[in-house]
Structure 1
Amino acid sequence: MDEKSEFLGKDNIKKLLFKLSAPIVIGMLVQAIYNVVDTFFVGMAYGTDDVQAIGGLSIAFPIQMMVVAFGIVLGTGGSSIISRALGARENEKAEKVLGNVFSLSLILSVLIAIPCLYYLDPILKIFGATAGVMPYAREYLKYIILGGTVFVFGVATQNIVRSEGNARLAMNAMLVGGGLNIFLDPLFMLGFGMGVKGAAIATVISQTIASIWLLLYYLKGKGAVHFRPKTLKPDMKIVKEIWAIGIGSFVMQCSNSVMMIFVFNALATYGGDSAIAVFGVIIKVNSFIFMSLLGMGFGLQPIVGFNYGAKKYERIVEAVKLSLAATTTIGILGLLSILLLKEQILGLFSADPQYLEIGKKAITIMLLGMPLVGMNVITSILFQALGKAKPAFLLSISRQLLFLIPLVTILPRYYQLNGVWAAYPISDFLAFLLSGFLLFRIYKIFKEQKKSSKTAAGSEIADKMSNI
């Protein structure tokens, strides 16, 4: 079983990082495309009401991401354990983790669907839904929540597949799901006249097909980790370990959604429906940059996990350096591209004059910190892959909870709508400083390892890292 992952400890790091990251980045970009396509066709479907309809999808998005967050916690926690288990040749443990991820996907999706559906309107009001956007947000989310199982399972399993070094399969699943969604969106929304309801149903169907593909991969025994039905029974020790490691990514995703409660309420106060629509468009356009950064991080994760289990620490250092260089470059190029084309990008979704006026200023201010975000993404995933829950957790909440929420609460009182936009680059800068500090500490530990004997280095590093 583990022979399929041996290349993680042997291949050239530069080629390996490209081999693992490129398919993930491509898949992530396709996912970003169909998120944008939803909004594009909503604008086409609703004509003069496009700002309210786009605002409805904007309000629904963070709630949808909270559902997905449960798949992220299972995927990041499970993949970290599995990659390290493969590196240490603990095959039975890897199988138990896989089975537990599968069963927990179903359990969690059911547990979150019931209260979300029952309290949907109050939840939307908490997120700042105005009377104009409420009907659209409600109609879209009903179907997304009902299809929650395929979202949780799909996201979790994609991460597991990557942990064994099969990034191409994860990419193909995302391409199938994304491509199908892009085809079904106009069919349901415009052809069948279903509006935002059609967008939601198209998304659920697409994710279902992608999830079935990933499930069949394991049922047919093609993975480096074999699926055995007896491993579906939850093992509390494994569940706790998955949660401890994955909690950082879970909180990062949920804190992003919680943060949007403050943002949307500030936008409703200082800008109204047009500002909410602008924010939703910018977030989805910005996802092209952020998904690329995340793809690089996911490509790094199995390399770090496997080589940490195999005690090949110098390979981890090299991989992290290359990942940081790549994410910084992506951030700079992505920012410049969006700023140069901001008027054309905004015009794709609506021609409303107020929306366009607000959007041009917002997109310029909000995205200034994107070249710095790669540091936070890579460092957070590094600690997750090493199984270091506390620093991973701290980094995961830093941008949204520690920095952005206070800033988006305070700055608009003095600078109104501009204060909302300015909170983003300032929080990116503060998270960059925190990430750099923690990364430097762990770099020093790995560097000191070179001066020690290989046999002593493993225990010494474990002791030193426990203090971070």
Structure 2
Amino acid sequence: MANVSAEQLGSEPIGKLLIRQSVPASIGILVMSLNVLVDSIFVGNWIGSIAIAAINVVLPVSFFIGALGMSIGIGGSSIISRALGANNTEKALKTFGNQITLTLLVTVIMVALGLFYVDTLIPAFGGKGAIFDPAKVYYRIVLYGVPFLALCMMGNTVIRAEGKPKFAMIAMIIPSVGNLLMDYVFIYIFDWGMAGAAWATTIGYFLCFAYILYFFLSKNSELKISLSHFGLDTPILKEIGSLGFVTLARQAVVSITYLLMNNILYGLGGEAMVAVYAIIGRMLMFALFPVFGVTQGFLPIAGFNYGAEKYQRVRETINTAIKYAAILASVVFVGLFIFPAEIAGLFLGSGPDMSAEDLATNAYVLEHTPLAMRLVFAATPIIALQLIGAAYFQAIGKAIPALLLTLTRQGFFFIPLILILPHYFDELGVWISFPIADVLATLVTGYYLRREVKRTLINSEG
């Protein structure tokens, strides 16, 4: 898990390099995912299953604003990787300075709007009935910490673009550990309920920001920017925006998906059905951490070697990343298929002090979650091709195909499916939309990736 210099991205063996880049990313994503998972288990056991549903309502709003930072980070990091590969250090520095300025401007404005429209946004995302009040408490507090989250997401991608995955991993671990510790103190000891869960999350974001700030101010970073680099540069902003829009569009579609899913499921089964989706949503974040880790490790290697015109290494990186990710996705699939009931049970509290209403809700959730989880993850073994394929176009700076392929699964297939199939198959129609969308998106991505490799990489080698 040692860090590498930017130059080593173009010289070390691909298999070894991908492991060195992906393992820290996977560990970081694992810890962050465990944070979301354990946080939900704590909330479910110490506050109640309705509280899990409340957090699920808030997540798409806060994550969308945080994703603004990630989109600026990934868009800019693609430029930085290619600039370092082409020995254009000044462009890399200017890009990083513009990323910081842009992240601060955009996220502060979005947080202000999010707080102003709080009573409109929460019901729109499914925060109705008993879910509304706890969701509002959680939402207000977490939103104050979202600018720090955005800066963390932006900075983390830049750290990885520098070839420092170990530091990126630590940056992802710090807020997760801090959040879980604060959960115990604020929820279990102080009995602050939803407010405690929200403050724990916000403090975790700030701790992450403090560490990332330390990294860039220390000698560990190769990007030593000055005040002149913070001035916005129109050509760089356009390139950041075109590439970052891919990530932002993906998160926007995710937020729309949460909005639709929470409302559709609320109509089918009330708060308890939203809680089922909340559990499955946590597993979607957690279970695929190794696949997402490989994808994150893939990006700087592909971008650097493409910028250096080492096309054979780019092809090898694509093939190796797909192979590693497919193997890991298959392992995840087996585990989820065998143990869905046991996984669902972790999120549900029990005991003599629980009300009859809570016990009935938990029984409903435990009954409906296993089948839903199996269906949602049914096509998991093949998603590696879709994720790596879409990431490749982003890594090499081709924004339009990256955007279209990123939106293929949820935007072009999944959303239409969940709007149509529940009318014919009720709850089952919601869950079967997941694997159908996965299969269709993978077929489309595989076709375009193969065509692009043949046109750009193989022909360039010849």
Judge same fold: TM > 0.5, yes or no: yes
Q: Does 1:449 align with 2:449?
A: no
Which string of whole-angstrom CA distances, capped at 9 and with x for unpartnered residues, describes residues 212-269 of structure 1?
Answer: 1111221234312222222112112211110101111111111011112111111011
Paired with 1:11 and 1:198, the residues of 2 have a C-alpha distance of: 47
Aligned twin of 2:357: none
Paired with 1:110 and 1:176, the residues of 2 have a C-alpha distance of: 23
Q: How far off its partner does 1:32 sit? A: 0.2
1:24-423 equivalences under 5 Å are: 24-46=25-47, 50-350=48-348, 352-423=362-433
- The residue type equivalent to 1:9 in the other structure is G
Paired with 1:293 and 1:347, the residues of 2 have a C-alpha distance of: 25
Q: Is the 8 A contact 2:29 2:293 kept in 1?
A: yes
Q: How far off its partner does 1:141 sit? A: 1.2
Q: Is the 8 A contact 2:288 2:332 kept in 1?
A: no
TM-score (norm 1): 0.93
Q: How far off its partner does 1:427 sit? A: 0.6
Q: How far off its partner does 1:292 sit? A: 2.2
Between 214-223 and 428-437, report the one with greater CA deviation: 214-223
Paired with 2:260 and 2:204, the residues of 1 have a C-alpha distance of: 31
Aligned twin of 1:466: none
Paired with 1:381 and 1:165, the residues of 2 have a C-alpha distance of: 17
- The residue type equivalent to 2:395 in the other structure is A
- The residue type equivalent to 2:13 in the other structure is N
Paired with 2:88 and 2:155, the residues of 1 have a C-alpha distance of: 20
- The residue type equivalent to 2:20 in the other structure is K
SS at match of 2:126: coil
Which string of whole-angstrom CA distances, capped at 9 and with x for unpartnered residues, describes residues 85-116 of structure 1?
Answer: 00001100000011111111211111101111
Q: Is the 8 A contact 1:57 1:137 kept in 2?
A: yes
Moved over 4 A (4+): none
Q: Does 1:17 align with 2:18?
A: yes
Between 381-390 and 342-351, report the one with greater CA deviation: 342-351
Q: Is the 8 A contact 1:58 1:280 kept in 2?
A: yes
Q: Is the 8 A contact 1:219 1:227 kept in 2?
A: no
Aligned twin of 1:458: none
Which string of whole-angstrom CA distances, capped at 9 and with x for unpartnered residues, describes residues 310-332 of structure 1?
Answer: 10000011111111111111111
Q: How far off its partner does 1:289 sit? A: 2.9
Q: Is the 8 A contact 2:146 2:205 kept in 1?
A: no
SS at match of 2:378: helix
Paired with 2:5 and 2:321, the residues of 1 have a C-alpha distance of: 23
- The residue type equivalent to 2:200 in the other structure is A
Paired with 2:141 and 2:95, the residues of 1 have a C-alpha distance of: 30
Q: How far off its partner does 1:416 sit? A: 0.4
Q: Is the 8 A contact 2:103 2:150 kept in 1?
A: yes
Paired with 1:392 and 1:437, the residues of 2 have a C-alpha distance of: 14
Which string of whole-angstrom CA distances, capped at 9 and with x for unpartnered residues, describes residues 260-309 of structure 1?
Answer: 21111110111211111011111112222333222111101111111111
Between 281-290 and 433-442, report the one with greater CA deviation: 281-290
Paired with 2:64 and 2:261, the residues of 1 have a C-alpha distance of: 16
- The number of residue pairs the alignment matches comes to 446
- The residue type equivalent to 1:436 in the other structure is G
SS at match of 1:224: coil
SS at match of 1:271: helix
Structure 1 unaligned segments of length 5 or more: list them. Answer: 452-468
Q: Is the 8 A contact 2:242 2:399 kept in 1?
A: yes
Q: How far off its partner does 1:155 sit? A: 0.3
Q: Is the 8 A contact 2:66 2:147 kept in 1?
A: no
Paired with 1:313 and 1:447, the residues of 2 have a C-alpha distance of: 8
Paired with 2:404 and 2:92, the residues of 1 have a C-alpha distance of: 27
Structure 2 unaligned segments of length 5 or more: list them. Answer: 350-361
Aligned twin of 1:438: 448
RMSD of equivalent CA atoms: 1.3
Paired with 1:190 and 1:27, the residues of 2 have a C-alpha distance of: 26
- The residue type equivalent to 1:202 in the other structure is A
Which string of whole-angstrom CA distances, capped at 9 and with x for unpartnered residues, describes residues 174-219 of structure 1?
Answer: 1122111121111111111111211121111112111111112212
Paired with 1:234 and 1:179, the residues of 2 have a C-alpha distance of: 35
Q: Is the 8 A contact 1:218 1:227 kept in 2?
A: no
- The residue type equivalent to 1:399 in the other structure is R
Between 440-449 and 236-245, report the one with greater CA deviation: 440-449
Paired with 1:413 and 1:437, the residues of 2 have a C-alpha distance of: 32
Paired with 2:374 and 2:414, the residues of 1 have a C-alpha distance of: 18
- The residue type equivalent to 2:458 in the other structure is K
SS at match of 1:223: coil
TM-score (norm 2): 0.94
- The residue type equivalent to 1:168 in the other structure is K
Paired with 1:450 and 1:242, the residues of 2 have a C-alpha distance of: 28
SS at match of 2:51: helix
Q: Is the 8 A contact 1:9 1:307 kept in 2?
A: yes
Paired with 1:68 and 1:369, the residues of 2 have a C-alpha distance of: 28
Q: Is the 8 A contact 2:394 2:402 kept in 1?
A: yes
Paired with 1:321 and 1:217, the residues of 2 have a C-alpha distance of: 32
SS at match of 2:287: helix
- The residue type equivalent to 1:435 in the other structure is T
